[in-house]
Structure 1
Amino acid sequence: MIDITFAQLQAWLVAFLWPFTRFSAFFMAAPLLGHSAVPRRVKIGLAALLSILVGPTLALPDAPVWSWAGLGIMVEQTLVGAAMGLALRVMFTAVQAAGEMIGLQMGLAFATFVTPDGSNTMVLSRLFYMITLLMFLAVNGHLVVIDTLAGSFHLLPIGYTGLERSGFELLVRYGGTIFSSGLLLALPLVAALLIINLSLGILNRSAPQLTVFSVGFPTSLTLGLFLLMVLMTDFGRFLQGLFGRGLVFLQQLVETLAPL
């Protein structure tokens, strides 16, 4: 007969619960598994599997789960996981912002559809997001992220240290990448289409009998599709730089959150 004491149950629960909290918070905020189309059982199962693998290798504090100290540790792990997930989401949001800018100039603002999460998204923005997601999986970026997440337990041990506020400030500042990188990607098409719109405005003033609405939309859409084909030839290099900066920032965020 196998005898299991309360102390052993407490140790097993602590070794599983606190890593599980960080993993589950990350998967809820990350762009891939955090999508509402992914079943919750998949998110919970993957977080539980990683917790079982990582938990026995960690040095855990001697604090009861059902205590104020245990509650504080759980909140701390939730903040760390959510911060890392949001940092990863910024990369994909930058590409979506570029798709919104380009689609608005091309006249695709009308071509929106309802996504599974219930929000309206431009078709071009959705296309950019799917290409970016597939490229991220193709270069094994998800494996690098999981490795960084597992290594964060050594830089940010559970319960032994607090969190530096400068790390959250760094995350907020990194949010500017959405506008800077998104505008950098969309700038060639936006500038060209803006010149076309200005030319059509001048043409309308010089020839009022020419209806701009009947000529402008087909012209903007046709030229926009052609420029989009040219842009896609350099899209991979842009994503390579975006992924590199994002993964480096993810590691930097973990190091910044760790107290000195």
Structure 2
Amino acid sequence: MIDVQIDQLYAWITGLLWPMFRIGGLVMLAPVLGESTVPIRIKVGVSVALTVVIAPLIGPIPAIPPGSYAGLLIAAQQVLIGMALGFCMRLIFTAAMMAGEFVGLPMGLAFASFFDPATGANTAVLSRLINIVAMLLFLAVNGHLLMLDGLVRTFEILPIGASLHADGWGALIDWSGQIWISSILLALPILIVLQTINLSLGILNRTAQQLSVFAVGFPITLTTGLIMLAIVLPRSSEFLMKLFQDGYQTMARIARGLAGL
């Protein structure tokens, strides 16, 4: 007969509860797993399944009652840590969508937008296209597994119950600033060509005013943009993989900053 004491039951629950808060915070905002199109039940199920697998790999858990004030504080800390790590990787795909916005405006496709359930707002077609390409590449290179591996390593750097330092939030803010630069660099080859064409059309409009630039320029910029997109997009995989690698390193930097290392 198996005899389970109430203290043992509390220890098992606590051993799964604290890691699940951090894992759940990551799943809420992480790419692929945290998409708004994914039902809440699936996110909760994935969080529980990951917790069952990851919990034995974690060190000792503080013996604090979950219903106490200290337990609620630890729960809030773990959710914030997981959300910071997930948001770190989410910013990479935000940069891909921003690159689509930058390219779509000079191409004349800024008006071609539709409601995107992932963002809850109208999104340009090119933004959605580049985001899907980045997401497929993320899955192809097992980026989701590397992200989970980085999450497991944060339990070694930042154990459950440790006090948080402000340096980690500063690392996250610095990373968000780099995303603006990355989005511009991703769209820069196409932007240079399209801006050159627009400049040439502007000069042509001043020299041959009888020529309707709006009638001629739109098909030229649209066709050139699509050709450049077909050339540049397949070659952007190395750039996106470099962003993924920088995202994993930033996750570790955030965890070290929160731990005060």
Q: Determine if the TM-score, normalized by the shorter chain, exceeds 0.5.
A: yes
Contact 1:90 1:177 in 2 (8 A): no
**Pair 1:97-2:102 in alignment:** no
Contact 1:22 1:78 in 2 (8 A): yes
TM normalised by structure 2 equals: 0.95
Q: Which sections of structure 1, spanning at least 5 residues, go unmatched?
A: none
Query: In the alignment, what sits opposite 1:124?
Result: 126
CA distance in 1, matches of 2:249, 2:66: 34
CA distance in 1, matches of 2:255, 2:129: 31
Query: In the alignment, what sits opposite 2:201?
Result: 200
CA distance in 1, matches of 2:50, 2:137: 24
CA distance in 1, matches of 2:254, 2:24: 18
Letter in 2 for 1:157: P
Query: In the alignment, what sits opposite 1:21?
Result: 21
Letter in 2 for 1:146: L
Query: In the alignment, what sits opposite 2:7?
Result: 7
Query: In the alignment, what sits opposite 2:50?
Result: 50
SS in 2 for 1:66: coil
CA distance in 2, matches of 1:256, 1:98: 29
Query: In the alignment, what sits opposite 1:171?
Result: 172
Q: Deviations over 1:58-80 (max 9, x none)?
A: 31111111101001100110111
| TM superposition shift of 1:233 | 4.0
CA distance in 1, matches of 2:145, 2:163: 27
CA distance in 1, matches of 2:54, 2:219: 56
Q: Which sections of structure 2, spanning at least 5 residues, go unmatched?
A: none
| TM superposition shift of 1:32 | 1.2
SS in 2 for 1:114: strand
CA distance in 2, matches of 1:11, 1:259: 28
Letter in 2 for 1:30: A
CA distance in 2, matches of 1:84, 1:75: 14
Matches within 5 A, 1:107-146: 107-117=108-118, 118-146=120-148
TM normalised by structure 1 equals: 0.95
CA distance in 2, matches of 1:257, 1:141: 23
Query: In the alignment, what sits opposite 1:148?
Result: 150
Contact 1:94 1:177 in 2 (8 A): no
Contact 1:132 1:239 in 2 (8 A): yes
CA distance in 1, matches of 2:38, 2:61: 31
| TM superposition shift of 1:52 | 1.6
Query: In the alignment, what sits opposite 1:106?
Result: 107
Query: In the alignment, what sits opposite 2:215?
Result: 214
SS in 2 for 1:62: coil
CA distance in 2, matches of 1:48, 1:14: 13
Letter in 2 for 1:185: L
CA distance in 2, matches of 1:204, 1:259: 60
Query: In the alignment, what sits opposite 1:38?
Result: 38
CA distance in 1, matches of 2:106, 2:251: 33
SS in 1 for 2:110: helix
Query: In the alignment, what sits opposite 1:63?
Result: 64
The root-mean-square deviation of aligned C-alpha atoms, in Å, is 1.4
CA distance in 1, matches of 2:44, 2:234: 38
Query: In the alignment, what sits opposite 1:242?
Result: 243
Count of matched residue pairs: 259
| TM superposition shift of 1:179 | 1.0
Q: Deviations over 1:146-187 (max 9, x none)?
A: 11112211111111x111101101101110122101111111
Letter in 2 for 1:129: N
Q: In terms of mean alpha carbon deviation, does 166-175 or 206-215 score higher? A: 206-215
Contact 2:22 2:78 in 1 (8 A): yes
